[in-house]
Amino acid sequence: MEKITLSEQEVVNALCLFHAKFRKVDPSEVEVELMYDDIGGFTAEASVNGQLDVYNTVNFITAIRVYIDEQLQRDSMSARIVLDLHDDEGIIANIEW
C-alpha cells in the first residue's frame, strides 16, 4: 500500500480550493480555520468577504478528495483518508491506496 501525508498547510489549501470553487471566487480570497473538538470532531470555518461557512468532517474529507483528484492527479475514490490531530504538525490527513 502506498501512503502519503498531507500537512496542515496542504489540508488548508484543499479546503481553500474547494470553498473557492463552491463560492466561485479565487482561492486567495478564502480564509480557512481548522478546528477539532471531542464532540464535533474535525471542522473548518471558511470565509469569503465576511461570509462564513462551516465544514463538518464529511465536507472536510470531500474537499481532500477533490484536492487529491485535481492537484495530486490521483484516484481519490480508492483512497482511505484519515484525519489526525498531531501535537507538533496540527491537523493532517493520512492517505492510503
Cα Dmax for the chain: 42
For residue 1, the model assigns a pLDDT of 85
Number of domains forming the structure of the chain: 1
DSSP state letters, 11-43: HHHHHHHHHHHHHTS-GGG-EEEEEEETTTEEE
Question: Within the chain, which residues score under 70 in pLDDT?
Answer: none
What domain range is 24 assigned to?
3-96
For residue 31, the model assigns a pLDDT of 97
For residue 25, the model assigns a pLDDT of 97
- Burial label, 7 (beta-carbon count in 10 A; 0-12, 13-18, 19+): middle
For residue 94, the model assigns a pLDDT of 98
- As beta bridge partners, residue 32 has 46
Q: What is the pTM of this model?
A: 0.93
